[in-house]
Amino acid sequence: SGPGLDPRRIMGLVEQDIVLGMYLMVEECQHHLYEKHVGSGGKDSYWGPYLDVLPQYLIPRLDTFSDEEYAVLGDTMLEAEGRRSKRLLEILYLGTKSGSDGDENTLQSIVREMIQTKLGSSIRPSDIPSSCFSFETFHRFVAIISSRAMVLKGVKHLTPLAEMINYKSKETYLHEMDPKNDDERCDTKAKWIPTPFDLYHTLSDDNSITVRSDRDVFADVSSIDHFKADGNAVIHLYEDYGPVDSSLFLQAHGFVPDENPHHCAIVPKSLLLPNEKSGDSSHQKNARHLFQALKTLKLVYPGAEVFDGIEDVCVKQNLEITEDGSTVGRKPASDSIAI
């Protein structure tokens, strides 16, 4: 446990990011010091080869933006969310709202102690660089885990190689009989149907993870990057990350996809009609009219007698209302969504 972490309940996804990040900070410090002092009796990290392929730069997710980048983004709600996220991480790691180092029992002091315990007598504490337990290193690893970890049964898993598969939406095709020729079928592009994430990513009883492609890689021409001199194709692997809004891609993954069938604008319920208990008579009148219209269209339970109000909605570019905005694009990673 530590500042901001509640030992009485199961860790949330952000807390798992923090714990995994702290672990990798210790392993990376051991790995880099071993490379620098090889032959001095120390031991390399078991995760050294994995750490070597992780980004050494800060993944540009929302809470890494500068003032200039927020100005270019031009979204006050996302800017507020990004700034809040970074400030929360600073408070959790450094332990004070002022952001000063050195507080006892902070996550930073815990990481420093973990590193010293891990290295033992193989290296002097004074030889451990401050970058091993700096906030910048902590922020880098939290961003890496947020971007790469796969969530199965409520738990985040780092899955080497599989976690490097890039995002690309999956389109579904319906096979229908050609009306001009009963013996042949034609492929008709259908409305995008989300593929359950846990159908292609499974966690076994021994905690091993099996990852399968959610599409026919060899039939997808767009997966071909280029052809080598021997005629063999170099293919990119893609998979769908689940039904999330593009804002969440920016917040968690550090990119915005060119094509996202679930990209939508969330309209908060505060801008819509409140329930009939509201003290505003004009709102009550509008609510009753809307409630009657919904009943006529059979869009609410026929026996309902009271209008309970409208939840947030998520609206696509074509003005299609996709689903409850409090769940689409905003719900936490689950067994069916990769975040």
Q: Is the pLDDT of residue 236 over 80?
A: yes
Q: Residue 14's pLDDT is what? A: 84
Q: Is the pLDDT of residue 327 over 80?
A: no
Which of the two residues, 103 and 206, has the higher pLDDT score?
Answer: 206
H helices present in the chain, as ranges: 13-36, 48-53, 67-73, 76-94, 107-119, 135-148, 197-200, 246-248, 281-296
How many angstroms separate the CA atoms of 260 and 149, rounded? 20
151: its two tokens: 């969530």
Measured CA to CA in angstroms, residue 163 lies from 59, 145, 150, 157 at distances of 15, 10, 7, 9
Give the bridge partners for 175, in sequence order: 187
Contact status, residue 252 vs residue 261, Cβ threshold 8 Å = no
Measured CA to CA in angstroms, residue 219 lies from 104, 165, 314 at distances of 57, 18, 33
Inter-helix orientation angle 107-119/13-36, to 10°: 40
Q: Residue 161's pLDDT is what? A: 87
Q: Residue 333's pLDDT is what? A: 35
How many angstroms separate the CA atoms of 56 and 247, rounded? 24
Over residues 108-162, the pLDDT tens digits come to: 999 999 999 998 877 788 888 999 999 999 999 999 999 999 888 888 999 988 8
* pLDDT over 70, % of the chain: 70
Over residues 18-62, the pLDDT tens digits come to: 999 999 999 999 998 887 765 555 688 999 999 999 999 999 999
Which of the two residues, 212 and 313, has the higher pLDDT score?
Answer: 212
Q: Residue 310's pLDDT is what? A: 63
Which of the two residues, 271 and 207, has the higher pLDDT score?
Answer: 207
When mean pLDDT is compared across 48-52, 249-253, 284-288, the lowest value belongs to: 284-288
Over residues 56-75, the pLDDT tens digits come to: 999 999 999 999 999 999 98
Q: Residue 182's pLDDT is what? A: 52
> pLDDT band at residue 190, thresholds of 50, 70 and 90?
very low
Whether the predicted model's global pTM rises above the 0.85 cut: no
Give the bridge partners for 233, in sequence order: 227
Return the ∠ at Cα 148 (arms to 208 and 333), rounded to 5°.
85
Over residues 191-210, the pLDDT tens digits come to: 545 567 778 888 898 989 99
Over residues 305-322, the pLDDT tens digits come to: 766 666 677 788 777 776
